[in-house]
């Protein structure tokens, strides 16, 4: 019995352990399922989060793309607006470079249309465009009936009764005049405020007929040149074309263009240039044009760039020019300082002439009140015409207007350092006989009054070693025969130096009065200081100049000298005597 109970108890114990194992296994499996569910839920949450982020990122990318597109459109719109503004401004100012052939063609058509609208045309004379916007001339030429240009023919056979000539009359007037096609033709043209009946013009006609048997035509455009200067400049192109038609009539009758010589003073020089333009279009080139101080106002910085409206070296086989009233300052000087011809003469440096006291800023003064334009304002300008007609008158006299080149330019002439000896072969004669010499730029000295032809002389001063800082003019006046000649020697020392300095000036004395036979020359000398101090100047200029030697020399090598060490000169005149010998300062 005990054995069976024991066996029964053992069997029951085994069953209890089996149940416990099953329970533990079930719990373990349940834990696994729970963990698996948790992991699954975690994965699902992560997927949802990733999906949400992806959606937002996609939306952001789509939004950014839209914004970039909007910004690009905005930038393009801004660029188009900028281009439109620039194009508009450029259209108002001047044509600029375009990017397509289509645009360039369109602009050309617009420009042609505008040009056609801005032209004024006259019978026989053609059309005239309005002046460019940058010019103060705001008008085309006046009507020919207003200008009333007249042409008069003078010949040796009848100097007192000139014959009027007309253009566009089928040669009737010139055929019925005393015009001789076998003789050369000279034309005289006056300038602003001038007239064909001026005393100077009549003298020029008679001098030309005295020296040569030629046809002389005087171009009288008094009414076209007598109003305002701006109107006269505008009229000059029309008058030039009128002259060209008269010259064409002469050429059609048999005159060789090579034998035509046009002489123009001031604006008249540019009239000659305008006449040549019309002839050049017909392959005709004049033989010679002489420009007498061609006008500078409006031609220096403006029209001077337009060849068709001014005189230049292409207008004739020979263009010779006399410059007498040039200036670097555009408000001063009625003439051009720049060479414009094949031969350019600069008497007395081409600026203010001896004997003239031109008003400073003469161009501005005359522009403000043109009624004031007279010889007191335009003395140097008028000198060009006076010099030319004297070169004609004096052709049979000994004194000649001999000029020479200055390789260093006008500054060297003004300083007096350009004064070659007569033995050189560089000489050229200014004026009527200029066509016989070499081409180039030439300088010469003339006298202060008629007869202007004289003998060039150079004065020099040798300063002392003890000279102080100064700036002024040494006035040296010499008395020779029955004449007086003034030398204005510029003396400038920017600082005190311990060495001698030489200063020079060139002038002309009466011809053939200064020869090697002249033993001595008497003169007076004084010094005028120029007051040009600034506030920064602590070392003022002295009003006294100290010199050791004063000398005169001609182009043949003859010298007259005065020597005395440390001679002090101020504003008071001091008499000196120069002797025909070399001296040494004592």
- Catalytic pick among 220, 293, 315, 325: 293
Q: Is 568 left (phi over 0), alpha (psi -120 to 50) or beta?
A: beta
CB atoms under 10 Å from CB of 539, counted, come to 11
Output the six-digit token pair for 576. 């000196």
Residue from 556, 455, 458 nearest 513 by CA: 455
d(CA 435, CA 40): 117
Q: Which residues pair with 547 in a beta bridge?
A: 463, 567
Q: What are phi and psi of 85, to 5 degrees?
A: -65, -45
Residue with tokens 């204005």: 488
Q: Does 123 participate in catalysis according to the annotation?
A: no
| 3 state SS of 518 | coil
Category of 349 on φ-ψ map: left (φ > 0), alpha (ψ -120 to 50) or beta = left
Give the integer Cα–Cα distance in Å for 559 and 459. Answer: 10
Q: How far apart are CA 526 and CA 165, in angstroms?
A: 57
Cβ count near 487 (within 10 Å): 24
Among the listed residues 302, 381, 394, 541, the single catalytic one is 381
Q: Which helix (H) or strand (E) segment is 488 a member of?
A: strand 483-493
C-alpha–C-alpha distance, residues 375 and 359, integer Å = 10
73 is catalytic: no
- The SS3 assignment for 567 reads strand
DSSP class of residue 332 equals S
Q: How many residues in total does the chain contain? A: 586
Closest C-alpha among 266, 294, 276 to residue 201: 266
User: 186, 236, 266, 366: which is the annotated catalytic residue?
Assistant: 266
Task: Please give the Cα distance from 324 to 296 (Å, whole number).
Answer: 12
Q: In angstroms, rounded to a whole number, what is the distance separating the alpha carbons of residues 109 and 532?
A: 57
- DSSP H/E element including 216: strand 215-220
Q: Look up 381 and say whether it is catalytic.
A: yes
Residues carrying an active site annotation: 266, 293, 381
């Amino acid at each position: 019995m005990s054995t069976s109970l024991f066996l029964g108890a053992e069997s029951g114990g085994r069953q209890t352990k089996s149940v416990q194992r099953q329970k533990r296994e079930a719990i373990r499996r349940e834990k696994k399922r729970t963990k698996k569910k948790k992991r699954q839920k975690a994965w699902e949450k992560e997927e949802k989060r990733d999906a949400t982020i992806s959606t937002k990122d996609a939306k952001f990318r789509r939004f950014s793309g839209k914004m970039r597109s909007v910004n690009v459109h905005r930038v393009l719109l801004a660029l188009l607006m900028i281009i439109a503004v620039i194009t508009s401004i450029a259209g108002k100012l001047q044509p600029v470079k375009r990017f397509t052939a289509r645009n360039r063609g369109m602009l050309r058509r617009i420009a042609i249309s505008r040009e056609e609208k801005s032209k004024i045309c006259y019978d026989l004379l053609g059309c005239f465009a309005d002046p460019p916007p940058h010019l103060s001339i705001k008008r085309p030429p006046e009507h020919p009936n207003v200008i009333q240009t007249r042409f008069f023919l003078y010949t040796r056979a009848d100097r007192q009764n000139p014959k009027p000539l007309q253009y566009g009359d089928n040669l009737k007037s010139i055929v019925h005049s005393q015009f001789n096609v076998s003789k050369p033709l000279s034309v005289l043209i006056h300038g602003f405020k001038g007239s064909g009946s001026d005393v100077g013009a009549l003298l020029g006609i008679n001098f030309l007929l005295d020296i040569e048997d030629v046809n002389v035509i005087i171009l009288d455009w008094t009414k076209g040149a007598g109003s305002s200067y701006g109107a006269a400049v505008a009229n000059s192109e029309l008058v030039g074309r009128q002259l060209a038609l008269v010259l064409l009539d002469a050429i059609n009758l048999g005159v060789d263009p090579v034998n035509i010589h046009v002489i123009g003073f001031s604006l008249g020089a540019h009239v000659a240039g305008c006449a040549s333009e019309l002839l050049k279009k017909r392959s005709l080139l004049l033989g010679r044009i002489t420009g007498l101080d061609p006008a500078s106002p409006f031609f220096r910085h403006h029209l001077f760039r337009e060849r068709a409206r001014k005189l230049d070296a292409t207008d004739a086989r020979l263009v010779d020019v006399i410059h007498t009233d040039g200036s670097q300052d555009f408000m001063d000087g009625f003439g051009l300082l720049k060479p414009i011809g094949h031969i350019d003469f600069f008497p007395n440096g081409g600026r203010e002439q001896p004997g003239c006291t031109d008003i400073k800023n003469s161009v501005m003064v005359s522009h403000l009140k043109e009624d004031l334009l007279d010889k007191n304002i335009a003395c140097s300008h008028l000198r060009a015409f006076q010099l030319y007609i004297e070169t004609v008158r004096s052709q049979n006299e000994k004194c000649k207007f001999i000029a020479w080149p200055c390789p260093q330019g006008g500054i060297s002439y003004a300083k007096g350092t350009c004064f070659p000896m007569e033995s050189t072969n560089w000489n050229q004669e200014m004026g009527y006989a200029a066509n016989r010499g070499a081409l180039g730029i030439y300088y010469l000295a003339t006298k202060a009054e008629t007869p202007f032809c004289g003998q060039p002389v150079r004065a020099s001063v040798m300063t002392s070693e003890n000279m102080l800082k100064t700036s002024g003019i040494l006035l040296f006046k010499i008395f020779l025969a029955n004449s007086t000649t003034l030398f204005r020697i510029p003396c400038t020392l920017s600082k005190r130096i311990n060495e001698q300095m030489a200063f020079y000036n060139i002038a002309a004395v009466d011809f053939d009065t200064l020869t090697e036979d002249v033993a001595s020359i008497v003169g007076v000398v004084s010094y005028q200081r120029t007051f040009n101090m600034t506030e920064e100047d602590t070392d003022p200029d002295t009003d006294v100049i100290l010199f050791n030697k004063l000398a005169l020399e001609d182009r043949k090598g003859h010298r007259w000298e005065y020597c005395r060490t440390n001679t002090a000169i101020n504003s008071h005149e001091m008499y000196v005597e120069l002797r025909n010998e070399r001296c040494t300062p004592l």
